[in-house]
Amino acid sequence: MKRVQVIDSHTGGEPTRIVISGGPDLGGGSVADQLVVFRDQHDRFRSAVVNEPRGSDVLVGALLCPPADKSCVTGVLFFNNVGVLAMCGHGTIGLVVTLAHLGRIGPGEHRIESCVGVVTATLHADGSVSVANVPSYRKVKATTVDVPGFGQISGDLAWGGNWFFLVENHGLPLDLKNVEQLTDVSWRIRQAVNSQGFPEVDHVELFGPPQSGGDSRNFVLCPGKAYDRSPCGTGTSAKLACLAADGKLAEGADWIQESILGTKFTGRFRWLDRAKGEIAPIVAGTASVNSEATLLLDDKDPFCWGIR
């Protein structure tokens, strides 16, 4: 019987399950190196932690691992119901609140090594967390794809730690009551985008008018077909890159991104390279710890490694 200690939190409604102990030994090296070992040799552990019967499609998992960069408080690799994630903004906010809950860190700046680079998270005195995310940029502006059953859709392709296809003009109400249609259309957009020139896109982000006092509302579909309950930290970073490139948001100004639930992240950016459109985004939000648990992995359990 294997015991895996986890702490669950949610960030703006989006859950994160942090593996505190009992995870596989990934052999050291950078977090990017360890991610490859995790992805190639420990996929059933990923599934055991986040998939049913212990988890659900919406759960994002995070495994603490030793950082190669010793100035970092920890390394972390993120995963979901279908595989590994390059980076996760809501998960990083959840991680910081979880480490504070464990008494491992206090208010102040903390460097964290992810598989796509070091991010700096600040735990503020009021418990909120801001994450200085990896450099973000827009790769393609206003490309049009043909979405079967929906027609032509135009969107931007941008990197914010994951790859996003960002769509403004879809004509769908961004309302929880409409989540099935939003999921269906976003999934078809992703398939069209992947097959029509951009196989790297893993997330689709639809935007609409704000409804809860922010600047914009979004609906983000994740690679495993679950929608992000939070405004998505990497998705907000990709959005900031597009706003910066279009001259629609000034350097240092706040952008309040609402999720489909109405929960909010506050984003802002600093230019890294204006000619290349590269920005340093900062995304801030809050998380709450809601469970401490020990997962029991028993090979005799027919669903020990998750339903997949």
Which part of the chain contacts ligand PYC (CB under 6 A), choosing from 119-127, 177-185, 186-194, 226-234? 226-234
- Within 8 A by CB and 6+ apart from 255, the residues are 215, 216, 236, 239, 240, 243, 249, 266, 267, 268
Looking at this protein, which amino acid is placed at residue 30?
A: S
d(CA 143, CA 138): 12
| Between 85 and 185, CB nearer to ligand PYC | 85
Note whether 202 binds ligand PYC by CB under 6 A: no
| Between 268 and 297, CB nearer to ligand PYC | 268
Q: Which of 77, 82, 88, 131 binds ligand PYC (CB under 6 A)?
A: 88
- Within 8 A by CB and 6+ apart from 24, the residues are 37, 38, 41, 42, 45
Min dist. Cβ of residue 228 to ligand PYC (A): 5
User: Can you tell me whether residue 240 is helix, strand or coil?
Assistant: helix
d(CA 137, CA 2): 42
Note whether 228 binds ligand PYC by CB under 6 A: yes
Which part of the chain contacts ligand PYC (CB under 6 A), choosing from 19-27, 82-90, 123-131, 288-296? 82-90
Note whether 233 binds ligand PYC by CB under 6 A: yes
41 to 60, contacts with ligand PYC by CB under 6 A? 60
Burial class (CB in 10 A: 0-12, 13-18, 19+), 233: buried
Min dist. Cβ of residue 52 to ligand PYC (A): 18
Q: Which of 232, 240, 280, 297 binds ligand PYC (CB under 6 A)?
A: 232
Note whether 229 binds ligand PYC by CB under 6 A: no
- 5 Cα distance to chain centroid: 22
The one catalytic residue among 65, 72, 88, 242: 88
Min dist. Cβ of residue 241 to ligand PYC (A): 14
Q: Which of 222, 238, 242, 243 binds ligand PYC (CB under 6 A)?
A: 222
Whether the CB-CB separation of 241 and 254 falls below 8 Å is answered with: no
Q: Which of 98, 136, 218, 234 binds ligand PYC (CB under 6 A)?
A: 234
58 to 77, contacts with ligand PYC by CB under 6 A? 60
Nearest to 267 by CA among 306, 234, 291: 234
Six-digit token string for 122:
């600040």
Nearest to 129 by CA among 120, 140, 116: 120
Catalytic residues: 88, 232
Residue ranges binding ligand PYC (CB under 6 A): 14, 60, 85, 88-90, 162, 222, 228, 230, 232-234
